[in-house]
Chain A
């Protein structure tokens, strides 16, 4: 058999039916749903008199609009409340397991999938959310879908999908101190651009990727969509197996060994070919800060806001011009001279326990700067929150002046009350700096958790490599 990539192996083992020139009928092993993009899918199912084919492979959670403050209080947002009620009703009627907002396993769908061991190597995983690419960190094929496709999977446990092209991004070298997984993925997007991945599934490999924890690999795969890719993946290895062992949905005992034996066969065969290959060197990377309104508008923390005229493409010049107007920034301004009003540590990109530990290390014994109006820490899941509290991280944050909240998507998307006000500038560990993403008129700068933490303390962006703190 010809050598195959990780992506091709998973794809081929899930094709139920295929005809030349047609999309394949692809079997789906895990379907995650949430309140935001599923109500219309259930309505469609009901209208057509269809059932959920595999409720046992379907998992629901409330995350996008959940309050991160006192959840006992009634939800005042009528639309959000209707969505929660609809999800609870739909799950009850169709027999789908639901982690509602009071479950101790509740959290952002892309945090709890891996945490519960639902996400495993070799699986096909979909969710009505573009950051489903996160789960590819385990060597799964995971991608976001629209609501019509959610309905399709509910009804058939399959999707009609065209095969993507495999792309390899090899990141050589060792990460310097203070350069995190977030900085690596922002560097990648800054280098290849926000549409380089269109039509592709990215496999990340190389020393710097192998050296990352599972949390770091999830951060990398999470933002594959920001490079335009359908999905991002990392070959499973011993770190993957160690992370999964003992988690609730992961097979135990002899079954676990059988699963590991299978997972070990998934890595790309030597000699397999990719449609596109990019090579980057982590040892030359610096902490990153976005200055514009796409994740590709990014530079080193030691850099300056660019001049639109410095871009060759006239369309890009216009886009940069518009972005700087929106962001309220002047060309030539040093990134480290930009003060911030808000700091948000959270989202499916950076709200896992490792992220909170790293941020807490920077914050410990210090105070949030007076010009910072609100500094928020929103754990990705209630399990992460509980773990952080066992370790005393919550007290480190609150003593420094951060607010410590309950789990959810929160200010990454601002569907609950955690909205960035117009004109306010935010250092955020989330994934999108689009216009209005965190709130209409809000100005988002994407950064790593340690850069966000250090920025909260200083009141402006800082180079974490200069800090007298134990960084990995």
Chain B
């Protein structure tokens, strides 16, 4: 995973509560085999008119938000489906940071695993950032992960909370599977210790795993 330490970028506002992952990546794009190339898909149905013509009404299509790398959002961002395609799309579009008053659990976990920093601020702080973003074209924020701060050029400075595990994982670009595999001996011991409850792992009776001709 790509490490994250500090980032300065243009802020784009997504002024809607409960933005679900179906909106970020509609179902028809969940049939691909790769993790790449979802940036074009992000917010597909909101972002495009028929023929994939950019909808000028949609906020991310406005000239002033081109090149944005920090997404400012409302509560419960990323609710709904567990599809990690949503996080892939957010990242591939160019966002490195999402700021919201709250995030849905699965999206939050998926985002960090893809090098996206999700910053939780209070409703009031997020409201203030919306005001500043909308008022001032070219509004940028400086995000400092080691210091856990968000700042602008006009002196605004917010501190945010983040668990130390996700912080370190982002700072170092850690691979979670690699971390877990360091505990291989403990995993094996756990499996061994649970053997007495083998009655919970019955072999199947009459179950069809095969590929018979359809009836």
Query: Which residues of chain A have a CB within 8 Å of any CB of chain B?
Result: 16-17, 21-23, 25, 27, 29, 36-37, 39-40, 43, 48, 50, 53, 64-65, 71-72, 77, 79-80, 82-83, 86, 97-100, 102-105, 116-117, 120, 122-123, 128-130, 144-149, 151-152, 155-158, 160, 162, 164, 194-195, 198-199, 225-226, 228, 230, 248-252, 255-256, 258-259, 262, 294, 315-316, 318-319, 322, 413-415, 432, 434-437, 440
Q: A154 to nearest B CB, angstroms? A: 9
Smallest beta-carbon distance B207→chain A, Å: 5
Interface segment among B2-10, B64-72, B143-151, B183-191: the answer is: B183-191
Residue B164 lies at the interface, judged by CB distance under 8 Å to chain A: yes
Q: A98-B209, A158-B187 are in contact. Are A144 and B214 (CB under 8 A)?
A: no
Please report the C-alpha to C-alpha distance between residue A122 and residue B202 in the assembled complex, in whole angstroms: 15
Chain A residues whose CB sits within 8 angstroms of the CB of B210 once the complex forms: 103
Across the interface, B199 reaches (CB within 8 A) one of A80, A255, A440, namely: A255
Instruction: List B residues at the A interface (Cβ < 8 Å).
Output: 15-18, 20, 22-23, 26-28, 30-35, 45, 74-76, 79-84, 87, 102-106, 109-110, 113-114, 163-165, 176-177, 179-181, 183, 186-187, 190-191, 197, 199-200, 202-215
Contact A104 B202 (CB under 8 A): no
A198 touches B164 (CB 8 A): no
Residues from chain B with a CB closer than 8 A to the CB of A17 are 183, 186
Residue among B32, B83, B87 having the largest count of chain A Cβ atoms under 10 Å? B83
Chain B residues near A71 (CB-CB < 8 A)? 214
Specify which of B27, B30, B104 lies most central, judged by the most chain A CB atoms within 10 Å of its CB.
Answer: B27
With both chains docked as a complex, state the minimum distance between the C-beta of B19 and any C-beta of chain A, in angstroms. 10
Asked if B31 and A83 make an inter-chain contact with CB atoms under 8 angstroms apart, the answer reads yes
Asked whether, in the complex, the Cβ of B22 is within 8 Å of the Cβ of A147, the reply is no
Residues of A within 8 A of B165 (CB): 21-23, 160
Min CB distance, A256 to chain B, in Å? 8
Nearest residue, chain B, Cβ from A255: B199
Q: Note all chain B residues with C-beta closer than 8 A to A249.
A: 202-204, 207
A432 touches B176 (CB 8 A): no
| Shortest Cβ distance from residue A209 to the other chain B in the assembled complex, whole angstroms | 23
- B189 nearest CB neighbor, chain A only: A16
A72-B214, A146-B83 known; 11 new pairs, CB 8 Å cut-off, are: A16-B190, A23-B163, A27-B187, A37-B82, A50-B177, A99-B209, A228-B79, A230-B105, A315-B74, A436-B22, A440-B45
Min C-beta distance of A26 to chain B, whole Å: 10
- Contact residues in B for A319 (Cβ distance below 8 Å): 16-18
A435 to B207 CA separation, bound complex (whole angstroms): 39
Q: Check if A198 sits within 8 Å of B45, measured CB to CB.
A: no
What are 14 residue pairs bridging A and B, where the CB atoms are less than 8 Å apart in the complex?
A37-B83, A43-B34, A64-B30, A82-B31, A97-B209, A103-B212, A129-B81, A155-B177, A156-B187, A158-B183, A225-B80, A432-B20, A432-B80, A440-B45
- Taking a contact as CB atoms closer than 8 A, the residue among A16, A50, A102, A122 that contacts B213 in the complex is A102
- Cα separation A120 to B182 with both chains bound (whole Å): 30
Nearest chain A residue, comparing its CB with the CB of B178: A48
- From A82, A100, A195, A316, give the contact of B79 (CB < 8 A): A195
Contact A43 B33 (CB under 8 A): yes
Contacting pair B27 A152 (CB below 8 A): no
Give Cα distance in the complex from A458 to B104, angstroms.
38
| 8 closest A-B pairs by CB | A146-B84, A255-B199, A79-B31, A146-B110, A195-B76, A144-B82, A251-B202, A130-B82
How far, in angstroms, from A72 to B23 measured CA to CA in the complex? Answer: 33
Chain B nearest CB from A25 CB (Å) reads 6
The answer to whether A318 and B26 touch (CB under 8 A), given A43-B34, A77-B31, A228-B79, is no
Closest B residue to A23 using CB positions: B165
Residues of chain B with a CB closer than 8 A to A36's CB: 30-31, 83
Q: Which residues of B contact A64 (CB under 8 A)?
A: 30
Cα(A100)–Cα(B213), bound, Å:
11
Residues of B within 8 A of A146 (CB): 82-84, 87, 106, 109-110, 113
- Are A40 and B34 closer than 8 Å at their CB atoms? yes
Closest Cβ of chain A: how far from B180's Cβ, in Å?
5
Given known A-B contacts A102-B213, A130-B82, A228-B79, A48 and B22 have beta carbons under 8 A apart:
no
For A104, the chain B residues whose CB sits under 8 A away are: 208, 212, 215
If the complex has contacts A16-B187, A82-B33, are A318 and B16 also in contact, measured as CB distance less than 8 A?
yes
B16 touches A322 (CB 8 A): yes
- B34 to A, closest residue via Cβ: A40
**Nearest Cβ distance between residue A382 and chain B, in whole angstroms?**
9
- The answer on a CB contact under 8 Å between B26 and A440 is yes
Q: Do B27 and A414 have beta carbons less than 8 Å apart?
A: yes
Residues of A within 8 A of B203 (CB): 249
A149:B17 contact, CB within 8 angstroms: no
Are B164 and A22 in contact, CB atoms less than 8 angstroms apart? yes
CA distance A120 to B201 in the complex (A): 10
CB distance from B13 to the nearest CB of A (A): 13
In the bound assembly, the distance between CA atoms of A251 and B34 in angstroms comes to 39
- Look across to chain A and name the residue whose beta carbon is closest to the beta carbon of B16: A319
> How far is the CB of A410 from the nearest CB of chain B, in Å?
12
List residues of chain B with CB within 8 A of the CB of A251. 199-200, 202
Q: Does the CB pair A16–B186 fall under 8 Å?
A: yes
Contact A315 B17 (CB under 8 A): yes
Min Cβ gap A265→B in Å is: 12
The answer for the CA separation of A155 and B102 in the assembled complex, in Å, is 31
* CA–CA, A40 and B27, complex, Å: 16
- Tell me which residues across on chain A come within 8 A of B27, comparing CB atoms: 413-415, 437
Please state if B204 and A148 are interface contacts (CB–CB under 8 Å): no
Query: Which residue from chain B places its CB closest to the CB of A71 in the assembled complex?
Result: B214
Per the bound structure, the CA–CA distance linking A86 and B17 in Å amounts to 36
* CA gap between A162 and B165 in the complex, in Å: 10
B183 x A259 contact (CB < 8 A): no
* A248 & B204 in contact (Cβ 8 Å cutoff): yes
